[in-house]
Structure 1
Amino acid sequence: MLSNNDILKKLRVAHKLRDDDIINILKLVDFEITKGALGDMFRSEDHANYQEAGDQILRNFLNGLIIHLRGPRPDKR
């Protein structure tokens, strides 16, 4: 079974995203993260500073990625 960290890594590679790109995508949904905290999620599991990515980070990244790829939702008025 894939962890949230594995999913983030695969999406990063598939979309050729750098850490700055991921931080900017998360900002699209008003989610702030530091470059260091993001780097801790991309470390190997046996590293001392490894951090597990929670569901909130993955959910916000996916929502931000949609906005990044499609653009903002049109106003329905």
Structure 2
Amino acid sequence: MDLTRARAANAGRPGSNLIAVPGTSYDPADGIRLPEIPRRKIVPLTLDEVDALTEGMPARYRALVVVGAATGLRQG
């Protein structure tokens, strides 16, 4: 399809005045470096801390604390 027919076929469509050139693209984020995020060491709760947390919870939530500690759910 020649350029004239391609323009006529796309007339009235959003972006119809743009022509894609094979092998080229524009990336507005090209060259931007993301900031480095320092990794924190993950320290699981001790058994004593889990017990204390369980004791401080209302009875209906105690099982959730135990399940969370036993399955490694994230704190916070």
**What TM-score, normalized by structure 1, do the two folds share?**
0.27
Q: Which has the higher contact order (CA 8 A, sep 6+)?
A: 1
User: Hey, which of these two has a bigger chunk of helix by percent?
Assistant: 1
Larger radius of gyration between Structure 1 and Structure 2:
2
**What TM-score, normalized by structure 2, do the two folds share?**
0.27
